Amino acid sequence: MVPWLLLLLPLPLPGLATTDKVYGVHPNLISKYVPSKSGSWKCLDGSKEIPWKFVNDDSCDCPDGSDEPGTSACSNSTFYCWNEGHVGAIIPSSRVRDGLCEPQCCDGSDELPGVCPNVCKELGESYRKKFAEERRLQKTVSSGSKIRSTYIAFAHKEKKRLEGLVETLSQEINVKEQEVERLRDIAERTESISQAALEHKQKSPLYQSLITHHNALKSLQREHKQHLEREKALGNILDALRAGYNPNYQDMAVLEAVRGWEELAGLPHIGASEEVKEGETKEEGEAVEATEDLEPGTWTADQLNDELDALLEADHVSLLLEHEEHIQSPTEGSLLYDLTSYLPDFVLPHYESFKDTLISWLHTLGIIHGDLDSTAADSSRAHQALTDAEAELERVKNERTTAEGDIAEIFNIHGFGAAGEWKKLDGTCLETEVGDYTYEVCLFNEAKQKPNHGGQTFSLGKYDSWNPSPDVKPGEPEYYQKQVYKHGTRCWNGPERSVVLLLTCGIENAILTVQELEKCEYQFTGTTPALCLPLDEGKKNSREEL
């Protein structure tokens, strides 16, 4: 039985030479495999004309091998697998009837019937799914790249705006520098006239007491801030203990600490309903407010936080001089002093300088009498004007420095990308809800974990860098597929919280998943159009329609 099979293997199928002349022919060439009226057929290269019966007879007659598309007789011929349900394929004719199932011919047509199974249906379904997914991805990339182009346009527009701002600020700085020099000259001249009188007034008991009170108040403020910081740190520890302890574990020391903190902070006992918690907290807060009775003139906590710095920054010399002016009887004004009401603003500085010099001469010659209180007050005002002008100059310079830094960062590969595509997303906040928490990441700023039903919000880290891997080159697409956020709130008996944000191309800026891979170490995945690079038309793969 076996020897007979071996003899039959190299032979074509029964009747193949007479019935299936187009076996193995590519669909585009079938129309050329038609015999002439005389029963002959011409090789595809036109070099020879042979009897039609010689086609697919397992004997190579044409120099180009075109007469044997379904056998392995011609070494330079090819065989076409129809692969119904999948994509057709071409293999060298030398692989036909070699006893091996070619993966390109999923229908097994390259071998005798029964040798190779027909798996085209399964492969076709898998191929179509893969093809549909690739088409979907291409569509996403195409749509995302259009959005990305708007990001790039925004970056160029922002750069132009900042450059205009820098130019405007530079001009403003030039004007303010001249103003500062003018005011400094006035302050120096008025100071030479009034310095002696001012030093005498600063020796008064009132001024010395004012300085002492200032120093004491500043010291109290420093101690108060230290106490607030310690109180906040202790509150965070107790909040973490309250949220993490097991109420069923009868550790009285822990239970007493938790209950004591709840009573002190006005918090409800754990286990109470949200409605009761809110009611209890509100009633306790109202009770404290009702019992609080401040003495007249006593500062509230808000005033201590908001207004104390301004009080400490007061100009004591100006206060001293204003006090001197207040306690002295006013004198009748002269035309020399009333002229300021009639002079235009641009003349006033020159007038003030001339007036101070003139008054000093009149005092020296004894023509007019009295002290130099008004001159000292003028000196204080001149110094205050100089200080204000210098502060304003410094503010404008800082604003220009910030704008220049922003310009340099827009197209920096370590910042917002070589094309500036990430500038638009600076500070954009993305959120997703997972269980009892909402996770938020504000790009280039901070990541947070926010409870959905009340409780403490934890920082998961502030933006630190793009992909820090040494194997990734800055500026490459992979470099912008990862952001690192570090130094978040420290976990209870654990490390500082941190986040690695993994990004892919998508038509929306969104967070997809949140995982805690290790204790307090989170991994976010998300999408953004900023990663959708334009499709390279020259590298598109041409695919055959199914």
| pLDDT (average), residues 474-496 | 92
Confidence bin at 42 (pLDDT 50/70/90): very high
Edge-first strand listing for the sheet containing 510-518: 429-434, 437-442, 446-451, 458-466, 482-486, 498-505, 521-528, 510-518
Residues with Cβ within 8 Å of residue 381, at least 6 apart in sequence: 318
Percent share of the chain, pLDDT over 70: 75
Overall fold of domain 427-541: Cation-dependent Mannose-6-phosphate Receptor; Chain A (2.70.130)
For 407, phi and psi rounded to 5 degrees?
A: -65, -45
Per the prediction, the chain carries an average pLDDT of 79
272 secondary structure, DSSP code: B
Q: What confidence score (pLDDT) does residue 360 get?
A: 62
Q: Work out the number of other CB atoms within 10 angstroms of the CB of residue 482.
A: 17
By CB atoms closer than 10 A (0-12, 13-18, 19+), residue 129 is exposed
Average pLDDT over residues 128-134: 82
221 confidence band (pLDDT: 50, 70, 90): confident
State the first-to-last Cα distance of the chain, in angstroms, to the nearest integer. 43
At 367-390, the pLDDT tens digits run 554 454 555 566 677 788 888 999
Every domain of the chain and the residues it spans: 18-117, 427-541
Among the ranges given (47-61, 89-103, 213-227, 426-440), the one the predictor scored with the smallest mean pLDDT? 213-227
Q: What pLDDT, in 10s, does the model give residues 488-539? A: 999 988 899 999 999 999 999 999 999 999 899 999 999 999 999 887 633 4
What tokens does 322 get? 């204003």
pLDDT tens readout for residues 262-312 = 777 777 776 554 444 444 444 444 434 444 566 777 778 777 777 777 777
**Is the full-model pTM beyond 0.85?**
no
Distance CA 105, CA 348 (A): 99
